[in-house]
Amino acid sequence: MSRHTPSGSHSERCDFCLEQHKEETEFALRYREELPDRTILLTKYFSVFPSLGQIAEGHVLIAPLQHYTAIADLPSTVTVELEGIRDRVRLALTTLYGYCVFFEHGTRTPASGGCGIYHAHIHAVPLAGKGVREALEERFAIRKIECLSDLSVAIPSTCSYVYFEDANALKFVFVVDHLPSQYMRKLFAETIGKNDWDWRLAGREPELLSTFGRLSSYFRNGAMSIPKQRDLAPVSWEKVPEDHPTITDNTCSNAD
């Protein structure tokens, strides 16, 4: 079976699909006895769980239960639910850790690269993410969007892309032909001077267990039992210039 399984199905080779059925996965190999189920939040269409290879404590993934290779390919009703989950996760991470940014490498073709898991997922990381948008903008055409539903119209259906939502909840999309494996993980890790960003090399991580414990408690008990969200001022680095480059055609081409 191709790693790019038809959207809406389950993949017999996908770790995220296999994990739903309690089968052997990269997560199970590391945590089988200690944490049989890492689900933090489960909804009709999505699961939220801590990522292997924590960039920082609080790093979670939001993944559809059905197998899609990119968030932009989700049906509109599913994307609507995702918007609400994204907002809940942002509130949780900013409450507990101070900041929250999101990113996704939406892979549409086998040649587009990726992290080795070809099941759509958005990373939520409790970092400020300073410099990430600028680094992407140096290489790729940028387009500002208003919501996740805009992905399906902002990006041609044959193109892969990077979605980035900054600490101020501004949302951007970049068309990319190919990214090196775990490029976004490495980019975020570099913003905090961290060298170990490869999830494949991660062993047992105390940060993952802490993420599971704190966020499970948050979603189980609700915000009433959590200290009030910090009154954070918006992150103050420069705004997106009015004349920033945009995606203007229907081709998949890098800007570099």
232-241 confidence digits (pLDDT tens)? 445 544 444 4
Q: How far apart are the first and last CA of the chain?
A: 33
Return the bridge partners of 18, or none: none
Q: How confident is the prediction for the chain on average, in pLDDT?
A: 82
Among left, alpha and beta (phi > 0; psi -120 to 50; other), residue 117 is beta
What was the pLDDT predicted at 18? Answer: 75
64-115 confidence digits (pLDDT tens)? 999 998 999 999 999 999 999 999 999 999 999 999 999 999 987 665 555 5
CB contact at 8 A, 68 and 8: yes
Return the bridge partners of 145, or none: 171
pTM: 0.81
Coil, strand or helix at 93: helix
- Percent of the chain as helix, strand, coil, to the nearest 5: 35, 15, 50
Q: Pick from 63, 69, 22, 70: which is nearest to 46 by CA?
A: 63
CB contact at 8 A, 102 and 219: no
- Domains of the chain in start order, with CATH, are 15-225 (3.30.428.10)
What would the mean pLDDT of 122-137 be, rounded to a whole number?
A: 94
198-210 confidence digits (pLDDT tens)? 877 888 899 999 9
Instruction: Tell me whether strands 171-176 and 46-50 are parallel, antiparallel or unpaired.
Output: unpaired
181-230 confidence digits (pLDDT tens)? 889 999 999 999 988 878 778 888 999 999 999 999 999 987 544 444 44
